[in-house]
């Protein structure tokens, strides 16, 4: 009421200065933030604990005498520190996050709320089984959904991420071969377009990796596959839809040839989002496939995890699945935890407990919310959105595989940048200035300067249009010779382009007081 | 459907832009035999209220650890996590971001990882730590395989004090890569048998302290024996709070330390997601698995952080990578780092002392119960007791008194022949009333 009557101007003056710098180094809401080790809290704590009644004298010389070197923060300092840091991140909640192969879709907050119910969040993995019946029921129901959606008879729930699922799948295959007198098989065939985790996993299990060529239209070269399938091949690992965003048209033939050679068909299910509710991998001849719950079923990626990677299995592989698993005997649910009795053929154990329960709760809530109808719509909208982007951008960029539809992601190469002096990397960094996270760059390896765009189904048409508009403007600028816009990008991010070569040449992986030029000798607690 | 923004009108117009007649045209590459025309035999979509109702009813069928006296540990521990932690990890910018592949717009995540790595290195007394593994057990398996790369030897000696599920995980995963795992028999003082199992072919020795029976060991002598034989010492810790009170693995000569970080910042979650800690000597860094965050500068010379040394990793090295790990435990690592920043050295030490004090209180109470033998001489917050009869049956019996008495060792290792052994843990969440209720109930049961 009085604010406007005290001479305070209410309209901004036009200011011409464009590269304004503050006096103290601050940048408005975007604060530079020190490391916790530079904040002086060597004898500070942000928790108030009851005093201990007994000392540790009974432990004698096992007790640590040297200081640890951990700073502490009061609660307000900690809150401010981490909230400031959070503001330096891009996030799906801020804008389109079109990282191909990563499926960055909306993460419903209902799922977060459900995972935090005490009955799930405060449940000990070794609590007596009679006290965890609801948790076992949930795992059983989630398994039922996964089996139904994939048309596969069994699922190993314990793998903790996609790559862990791949490992589980290949170990299952290895165990099956050994049980069938085929343990001599030493080779796994992997297309050149595969995720890096595929060959890494195969090598991890002790297989040698042989690459399968790709056809000009971005699919597995069936002739090359047939030529390389031999009595030495244990499995093929094929992603479908593949990493070029294309459905493997000959997938049934791929499965048939593989089985004819006595090998198993492992499918990398990273792109299941594109076909969920419409296509069942079990109908395609797949023997094993991991499902990234953090992709298709939207458990949040959290800046790098956690994820979950259950593996659906064919009847031939099911007996070799790792412990533990849930069984139901009519009176209730039971965890089979060791390799005895019915579980005698289990190949072993993937991790200490029963898998990523926190992710199971979220994924199950997501499935119940969508239902069979919503999940089918998920696949349709994901594919529609990708094809829409492909159509809108094909006028200015070069699609890697222009003929026919793509699935859930649109792949472009860098042919259209030829002669511009702008690289895929430069283009991606310029997208940051336009307010978008770059697409996946330089992957798959089979496409030169690849740009893989996955919008997902949770983008509105308005956001897709906003994104395409920005990319069209950028493409026009690149072709018009506005090279500095790209080579120097990003200009508007919290930091300019970072020197990754320096980081690798002189690794500084932890904070060290001597390198920081300070000497905050850590103070041992009283 | 509340999560899908496209309207029927949008869809129709977009199909027009694409130049196809129907959505089915976009699925034309799918073989006709594999196209499902009908909806799957699963329920239709449901509102928030209905979903919440169903999930809540499942949750209500479980007995949370906080519902009464509770003494389970054995690799997962109930601790109090400050409310700040859960608030911050639910910030959109942390929760809904991907692995920091574009460092200019991921400095929040990257700086947290740098702080995390520094905290883990400090706790374990080693020079470098990675940006997290799935959990302690898979970190243990990765450590064994790393030792194979470093020493070019294939034999791993695994102490009988290692959590049996960790040993099984390591056996499964490392054996697949060609390691020969020598698993020593389970015993309270299993560490005593480790040194004589080391020979000139040994790549690494895996020892847990506090071990699965809660026994705290100074592993310096084992470190010496391993190093004399040219092997690495891997020290495993399942209760990270113990680092606040006990000598660090690095101080005792460990080359690699792995730990389950769940105790700090993370809930029990019925076994996952958890966060694996992985640290080692600096000279071994290029053989490490997993992501590493490193310090660098931007084009204007300002400090920043990036993922680095990625030539070890699967997306660059493919079949020659040090590990196949990609997604790890980023958000759990964030929770860990926030909680540990709140604790600081002083808080962590106090928390560790409080845990140890509660366990001593529990030990004193149980030692007075007729028929109970305390098996663990020196422990942190967990120890083993021998009962007169079957431990699993006693746990079931005490459940009817509202007490979750602990983890029967037979559940972890049915083959060990230790059916009368019960593992019990106490933390800062354990009250004197809980302990009295447990001791009273046990006295009633074992007195019968």
Of B39, B115, B293, the CB nearest to A373: B39
Of B3, B127, B428, the CB nearest to A49: B428
The answer, as to whether pTM is greater than 0.95, is yes
pLDDT value of residue A27: 82
Q: B55: distance to nearest CA of chain A, Å?
A: 7
| The pLDDT of residue A518 is above 80 | no
Does B111 contact A349 at a Cβ distance shorter than 8 Å?
Answer: no
Phi-psi region of A401 (alpha: psi -120 to 50; beta: other; left: phi over 0): beta
Rg (C-alpha) for chain B, rounded Å, is 25
**Which residues of chain A does B64 touch, with a Cβ-Cβ cutoff of 8 Å?**
118-119, 121-123
| Whole-number Å distance between alpha carbons of B193 and B181 | 15
pLDDT value of residue B318: 80
pLDDT in tens, B339-350: 999 999 999 999
Q: Give me the mean pLDDT over the A41-61 stretch.
A: 94
- Mutate: best of A302, A428, A488, partner B, most B CBs <10 A: A302
> What residue of B is the nearest CA neighbor of A103?
B98
Assembly ipTM: 0.97
Does B216 contact A405 at a Cβ distance shorter than 8 Å?
Answer: no
pLDDT in tens, A113-150: 999 999 999 999 999 999 999 999 999 999 999 999 99
Burial of A248 (0-12, 13-18, 19+ CB in 10 A): buried
Of A110, A305, A353, the CB nearest to B330: A305
At residue A29 the predicted structure's pLDDT band, cuts being 50, 70 and 90, is: confident
Does B306 contact A83 at a Cβ distance shorter than 8 Å?
Answer: no
Residue A217: count other Cβ atoms within 10 Å of its Cβ: 12
Does B112 contact A128 at a Cβ distance shorter than 8 Å?
Answer: no
Does B43 contact A42 at a Cβ distance shorter than 8 Å?
Answer: no
**Which residues of chain A does B134 touch, with a Cβ-Cβ cutoff of 8 Å?**
160-161, 164, 305-306, 351
Q: Give me the mean pLDDT over the A488-513 stretch.
A: 94
**Which residues of chain A does B326 touch, with a Cβ-Cβ cutoff of 8 Å?**
161-163, 196-197
At residue A520 the predicted structure's pLDDT band, cuts being 50, 70 and 90, is: very low
Average pLDDT for runs of 10 along chain B of length 448 = 97 98 97 93 98 98 98 98 98 97 97 98 98 98 96 97 97 89 96 97 98 98 98 98 98 98 98 98 96 96 94 81 88 98 97 98 97 97 97 97 98 96 98 98 84
In terms of pLDDT, which residue wins out, A392 or A2?
A392
Does B296 contact A499 at a Cβ distance shorter than 8 Å?
Answer: yes
The sign of the dihedral angle between the CA atoms of A132, A138, A144, A147 is: negative
> What whole-number percentage of chain A has pLDDT above 70?
94
Residues with Cβ within 8 Å of A11's Cβ and at least 6 positions away in sequence, in order, are: none
pLDDT in tens, B412-447: 999 999 999 999 999 999 999 999 999 999 999 876
Q: B263: distance to nearest CA of chain A, Å?
A: 12
Reference A47, options A70, A69, A79, A74; nearest CA is A74
H or E element, residue A202:
helix A197-204
pLDDT value of residue B316: 79
A/B interface, count of CB pairs below 8 Å: 729
> What residue of A is the nearest CA neighbor of B86?
A116
| The pLDDT of residue A301 is above 60 | yes
**Which residues of chain B does A70 touch, with a Cβ-Cβ cutoff of 8 Å?**
119, 122-123, 340, 343-345, 348
pLDDT in tens, A315-341: 999 999 999 999 998 889 999 988 666
Q: A180: distance to nearest CA of chain B, Å?
A: 17
| Whole-number Å distance between alpha carbons of B397 and A444 | 58
> What residue of B is the nearest CA neighbor of A55?
B357
Q: A15: distance to nearest CA of chain B, Å?
A: 25
| Whole-number Å distance between alpha carbons of A519 and B103 | 29
| CA distance from start to end of chain B | 60
> What residue of A is the nearest CA neighbor of B291?
A304
pLDDT value of residue A6: 67
> What residue of B is the nearest CA neighbor of A505?
B309
| Whole-number Å distance between alpha carbons of A431 and A210 | 37
Reference A91, options B91, B292, B113; nearest CA is B91
pLDDT value of residue A331: 87
pLDDT value of residue A517: 58
> What residue of A is the nearest CA neighbor of B84?
A79
What mean pLDDT, rounded, does chain A reach?
93
Q: Give me the mean pLDDT over the A302-326 stretch.
A: 96
pLDDT value of residue A340: 67
At residue A523 the predicted structure's pLDDT band, cuts being 50, 70 and 90, is: very low
Does A54 contact B360 at a Cβ distance shorter than 8 Å?
Answer: yes
| Whole-number Å distance between alpha carbons of A232 and A188 | 9
Residue B265: count other Cβ atoms within 10 Å of its Cβ: 27
Sheet containing A154-156: give its strands across.
A154-156, A311-313, A288-290, A264-268, A233-239, A187-191, A208-212
| The pLDDT of residue A342 is above 90 | no
Q: A18: distance to nearest CA of chain B, Å?
A: 17
What mean pLDDT, rounded, does chain B reach?
96
Of A306, A356, A371, the CB nearest to B43: A371
Of A86, A308, A371, the CB nearest to B46: A371
Task: Report residue B86 as tokens.
Answer: 């859960």
At residue A525 the predicted structure's pLDDT band, cuts being 50, 70 and 90, is: very low
- Mutate: best of A70, A135, A359, partner B, most B CBs <10 A: A70
Q: Give me the mean pLDDT over the A370-394 stretch.
A: 98
Of B10, B63, B291, the CB nearest to A461: B10
Residue in the block written with tokens 């509102």: B47
> What whole-number percentage of chain A has pLDDT above 90?
87
**Which residues of chain A does B399 touch, with a Cβ-Cβ cutoff of 8 Å?**
128, 130-131
Strands A264-268 and A288-290: parallel
């Amino acid at each position: 009421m009085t604010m406007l009557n005290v001479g305070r101007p209410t309209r901004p003056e036009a200011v011409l200065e464009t590269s304004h710098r503050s006096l103290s180094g601050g940048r408005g809401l975007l604060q530079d933030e020190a490391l916790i080790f530079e904040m002086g809290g060597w004898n500070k704590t942000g928790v108030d604990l009851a005093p201990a009644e007994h000392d540790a004298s009974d432990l004698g010389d096992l007790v640590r005498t040297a200081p640890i070197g951990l700073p502490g923060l009061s609660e307000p300092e900690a809150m401010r520190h981490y909230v400031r840091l959070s503001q330096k991140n891009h996030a799906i909640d801020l804008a389109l996050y079109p990282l191909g192969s990563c499926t960055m879709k909306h993460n419903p907050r209902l799922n977060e709320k459900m995972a935090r119910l005490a009955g799930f969040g405060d449940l000990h993995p070794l609590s007596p089984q009679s006290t965890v019946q609801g948790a076992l029921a949930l795992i059983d129901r989630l398994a039922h959904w996964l089996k139904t959606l994939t048309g596969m008879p069994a699922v190993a729930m314990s793998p903790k991420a996609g790559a862990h699922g791949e490992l589980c799948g290949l170990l299952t295959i290895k165990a099956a071969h050994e049980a069938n007198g085929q343990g001599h098989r030493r080779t796994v065939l992997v297309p050149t377009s595969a995720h890096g985790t595929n060959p890494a996993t195969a090598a991890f299990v002790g297989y040698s990796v042989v690459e399968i060529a790709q056809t000009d239209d971005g699919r597995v070269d069936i002739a090359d596959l047939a030529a390389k399938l031999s009595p030495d091949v244990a499995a093929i690992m094929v992603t479908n839809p593949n990493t070029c965003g294309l459905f493997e048209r000959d997938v049934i033939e791929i499965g048939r040839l593989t089985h004819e050679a006595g090998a198993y068909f492992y499918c990398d299910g990273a792109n299941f989002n594109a076909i969920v509710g419409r296509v069942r991998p079990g109908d395609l001849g797949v023997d094993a496939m991991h499902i990234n719950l953090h992709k298709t079923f939207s458990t949040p990626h959290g800046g790098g995890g956690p994820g979950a990677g259950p593996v659906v299995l064919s009847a031939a592989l099911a007996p070799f699945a790792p412990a533990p698993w849930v069984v139901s005997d009519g009176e209730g649910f039971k965890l089979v935890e060791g390799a005895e009795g019915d579980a005698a053929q289990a190949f072993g154990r993937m991790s200490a407990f029963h898998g990523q329960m926190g992710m199971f709760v979220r994924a199950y809530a997501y499935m119940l919310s969508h239902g069979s109808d919503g999940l089918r719509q998920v696949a349709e909208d994901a594919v529609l959105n990708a094809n829409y982007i492909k159509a809108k951008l094909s006028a200015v960029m070069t699609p890697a595989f222009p003929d026919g539809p793509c699935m859930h992601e649109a792949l472009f190469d860098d042919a259209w940048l030829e002669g511009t002096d702008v690289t895929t990397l430069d283009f991606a960094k310029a997208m940051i200035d336009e307010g978008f996270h770059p697409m996946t760059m330089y992957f798959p390896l089979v496409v030169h300067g690849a740009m893989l765009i996955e919008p997902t189904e949770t983008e509105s048409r308005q956001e897709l249009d906003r994104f395409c508009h920005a990319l069209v403007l950028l493409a026009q600028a690149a072709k018009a010779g506005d090279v500095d816009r790209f080579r120097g990008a990003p200009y508007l991010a919290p930091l300019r382009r970072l020197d990754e070569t320096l980081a690798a040449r002189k690794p500084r992986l932890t904070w060290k007081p001597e390198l920081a030029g300070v000497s905050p000798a850590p103070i041992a607690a009283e | 459907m509340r999560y899908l923004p496209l309207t029927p009108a949008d869809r129709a117009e977009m199909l027009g832009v694409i130049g196809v007649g129907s959505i089915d045209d976009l699925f034309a590459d799918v073989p006709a035999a594999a196209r499902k025309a009908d909806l799957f035999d699963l329920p239709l979509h449901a509102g928030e209220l209905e979903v919440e109702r169903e999930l809540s009813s499942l949750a209500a069928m479980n007995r949370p650890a906080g519902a009464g006296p509770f003494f389970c540990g054995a690799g997962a521990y109930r601790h109090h996590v400050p409310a700040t932690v859960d608030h911050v990890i639910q910030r959109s910018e942390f929760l809904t971001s991907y692995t920091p592949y574009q460092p200019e717009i991921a400095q929040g995540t990257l700086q947290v990882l740098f702080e995390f790595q520094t905290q883990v290195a400090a706790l374990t007394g080693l020079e470098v730590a990675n940006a997290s593994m799935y959990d302690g057990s898979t970190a243990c398996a990765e450590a064994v395989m790393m030792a194979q790369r470093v020493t070019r030897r294939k034999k791993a000696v695994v102490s009988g004090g290692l959590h049996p599920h960790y040993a099984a995980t390591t056996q499964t995963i490392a054996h697949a890569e060609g390691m020969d795992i020598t698993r020593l028999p389970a015993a309270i003082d299993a560490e005593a048998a480790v040194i004589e199992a080391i020979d000139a072919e040994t790549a690494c020795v895996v020892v847990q302290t506090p071990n699965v029976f809660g026994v705290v060991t100074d592993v310096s002598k084992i470190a010496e024996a391993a190093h004399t034989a040219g092997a690495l010492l891997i020290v495993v810790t399942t209760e990270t709070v113990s680092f606040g009170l006990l000598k660090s693995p690095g101080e005792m000569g460990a080359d690699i330390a792995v730990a389950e970080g769940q105790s700090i910042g993370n809930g029990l979650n019925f076994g996952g997601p958890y966060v694996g800690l992985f640290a080692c000597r600096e000279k071994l860094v290029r053989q490490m698995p997993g992501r590493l965050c490193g310090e660098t500068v931007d084009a204007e010379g300002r400090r920043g952080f990036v993922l680095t040394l990625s030539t070890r990793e699967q997306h660059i090295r493919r079949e020659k990578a040090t590990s196949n790990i990609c997604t790890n435990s980023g958000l759990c690592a964030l929770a860990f780092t926030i909680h540990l920043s709140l604790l600081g050295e002083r808080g962590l030490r106090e928390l560790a002392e409080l845990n140890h004090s509660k366990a001593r209180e529990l030990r004193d109470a149980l030692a007075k119960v007729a028929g109970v033998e305390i098996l663990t001489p020196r422990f942190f917050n967990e120890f083993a007791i021998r009962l007169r009869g079957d431990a699993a049956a006693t746990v079931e019996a005490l459940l009817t008194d509202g007490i979750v008495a602990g983890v029967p060792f037979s559940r972890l290792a049915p083959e060990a022949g230790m059916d009368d052994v019960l593992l019990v843990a106490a933390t800062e969440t354990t009250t004197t009333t809980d302990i009295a209720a447990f001791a009273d109930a046990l006295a009633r049961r074992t007195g019968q």
